[in-house]
Amino acid sequence: MRIGFIGAGSMASALARGLGEPALVSDPQAERAEALAAELNGRVAASNRELAEGCELVILCHKPVHLEEVAEQVGGKAKAVASIVAATPVSRLEAVYPDTPVYRFIPNIPVEVGRGVLCYTPGTLAAQGPEEELLRLFGRTGVVIPLEEPLIDPAMAVMSCGPAFLALVVEAMADAGSRHGLEPRQARRLVTETMAGTAAYLDANDLDAAMLRRRVATPGGLTEKGLQVLEDAGLRASFDSAVDLVVKAGR
């Protein structure tokens, strides 16, 4: 499938690297478009219209404020449109791309290394377009999770913002280890490997997080006492507040 990216920012670049396909690229910042096109062994399109004419799938990665402008430039030439544009529901996409199959995705940054999460909401004409091929293509970059659109905002709070939230946990734990003599890079690796292993263990054993906590935390032991410190410090409440903020901002 010939693909084109309108927008070459951080998330577009991560998705493009994860897909690993030569692609057409356009971006208002010429240097950014040229850099991504070179990395993909693709090329820079002279215009959004040319990009739409030269590919089978247009991937929208621009800012929400440019939705109508880009749609006018594409001028009905797009055969199918996949959007990762934030805060832009399927109804708005279909309003500016009438009679075109549209597909909405919310990816997170690990798509770059094939370990992403992509929330997916199809448009009303999705089945008339390359939906199956598109889902296989995006599936290369991670796990695709279909969601009803009202659930996109809470999903985004935990999976799109989640890498940054978890990175803060990694940073805090590694810093705490470093204060007790671990070399900073060594401490960070201990935490990231533990995080990756914990995720794999939960998945392989089909466990919920509470069950794993009970397996690790011996009653009265150090892990249980450490968990209580985290609870008393308001860790759970802090995550609640962060997710609440993101969800409310998206509505």
SS (H, E, C) 137-185: HHHCCEEEEECCHHHHHHHHHHHCCHHHHHHHHHHHHHHHHHCCCCCHH
Domains 3-148 and 162-250 belong to one CATH topology: no
What CATH number labels 3-148?
3.40.50.720
Using alpha carbons, select from 55, 98, 54, 56 the residue that is nearest to residue 76: 98
So what's the pLDDT on residue 251?
76
Which is the CATH superfamily of the domain at 162-250? ProC C-terminal domain-like (1.10.3730.10)
Q: What is the pLDDT along the chain (251 residues), one digit of tens a residue?
A: 999 999 999 999 999 999 999 999 999 999 999 999 999 999 999 999 999 999 999 999 999 999 999 999 998 899 999 999 999 999 999 999 999 999 999 999 999 999 999 999 999 999 999 999 999 999 999 999 999 999 999 999 999 999 999 999 999 999 999 999 999 999 999 999 999 999 999 999 999 999 999 999 999 999 999 999 999 999 999 999 999 999 998 87
Residue (of 42, 39, 44, 56) closest to 7 by Cα position = 44
pLDDT at 66: 97
CA distance 227 to 20: 41
Could you tell me the residue ranges of all domains in the chain?
A: 3-148, 162-250
Give the model's pLDDT for residue 250. Answer: 80
What local confidence, expressed as pLDDT, does residue 165 receive?
98
* pTM for the full predicted model: 0.94
Quick one: tokens of 147? 């969601």
DSSP type of residue 234 = T
